[in-house]
């Protein structure tokens, strides 16, 4: 793919995400490409997130510093979240009669990160130029990612409704959070007050 092809794909992603997903899946990219793409998007997103954290003076809050104070930690957390998203997008979709492959799911999850990462870059500029507007870019990036991911997963598995996929993602997210909480209780224990 050339730079022009990528720009056209980005434009198509914003105008018709399902058609962009079809075009990406038609590339028949291997799973290794998907994993590498997830790693790359994690590193880029973590770098921009760390830069935003440093520019906004967030290091005064210990909770934010614990999360955003290390670009390596951010990249690892981002990679784990994206990898889990890709695997669950494939696995849960298959359980509901979907036809997509793991390699396609990984590549689509990675590509769904591209427009929000570009908004993250715009957010960095806003932090410097107009700090009051910077959070709006973060909110827009999250909303855009949710919409793109829903439509990409729907297209991946041949589902008609992106809205149903979105609500399915919410249910799966709640279940995963619940399981992680149980795992933490088992491994760490319940704090005594």
For 20-56, the pLDDT digits (tens) are 999 999 999 999 999 999 999 999 999 998 898 888 8
pLDDT band at residue 70 under the 50/70/90 scheme:
confident
pTM for the model stands at 0.89
The mean of the pLDDT values for the chain is: 91
193: in domain = no
- Domain for residue 132, yes or no? yes
Query: Could you tell me what percent of the chain has a pLDDT over 90?
Result: 74
The distance from CA 59 to its chain's CA centroid, rounded to whole angstroms, is 24
Q: What is the mean pLDDT of residues 105-110?
A: 97
Evaluate whether residue 118 is within a structural domain.
yes
* Cα end-to-end distance, the chain, whole Å: 57
In whole angstroms, what is the distance from residue 147 CA to residue 149 CA? 6
pLDDT of residue 92: 95
Average pLDDT on 143-167 reads: 96
Model confidence pLDDT, tens digit, residues 127-142: 999 988 999 999 999 9
Lowest mean pLDDT among 56-60, 66-70, 173-177: 56-60
Rounded alpha-carbon distances, angstroms, from residue 121 to 19, 30, 59, 66, 97: 25, 29, 20, 22, 38
Q: Are 45 and 35 in contact (CB under 8 A)?
A: no
Domain of residue 24: give its range.
3-188
Phi/psi at 161 (5° precision): -105, 115
Q: How many independent structural domains does the chain possess?
A: 1
Please report the pLDDT score of residue 42 as a whole number.
Answer: 96
CA distance 73 to 160: 37
Task: Give me the pLDDT at residue 55, please.
Answer: 85
Distance CA 153, CA 130 (A): 35
């Amino acid at each position: 793919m050339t730079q022009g092809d990528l720009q056209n794909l980005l434009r198509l992603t914003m105008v018709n995400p399902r058609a962009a997903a079809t075009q990406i899946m038609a590339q028949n990219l291997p799973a290794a490409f998907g994993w590498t793409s997830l790693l790359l998007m994690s590193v880029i997103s973590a770098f921009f997130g760390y830069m935003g954290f440093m520019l906004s003076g967030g290091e005064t809050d210990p909770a934010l510093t614990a999360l955003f104070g290390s670009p390596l930690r951010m990249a690892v957390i981002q990679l784990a979240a994206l990898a889990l998203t890709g695997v669950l997008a494939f696995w849960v979709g298959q359980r509901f009669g979907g036809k997509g492959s793991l390699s396609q799911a990984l590549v689509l999850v990675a590509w769904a990160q591209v427009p929000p990462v570009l908004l993250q870059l715009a957010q960095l500029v806003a932090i410097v130029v107009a700090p009051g507007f910077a959070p709006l870019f973060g909110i827009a990036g999250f909303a855009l990612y949710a919409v793109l991911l829903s439509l990409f997963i729907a297209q991946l598995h041949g589902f008609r409704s992106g809205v149903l996929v979105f609500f399915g993602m919410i249910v799966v997210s709640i279940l995963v959070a619940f399981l992680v909480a149980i795992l933490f209780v088992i491994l760490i224990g319940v704090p005594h007050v």
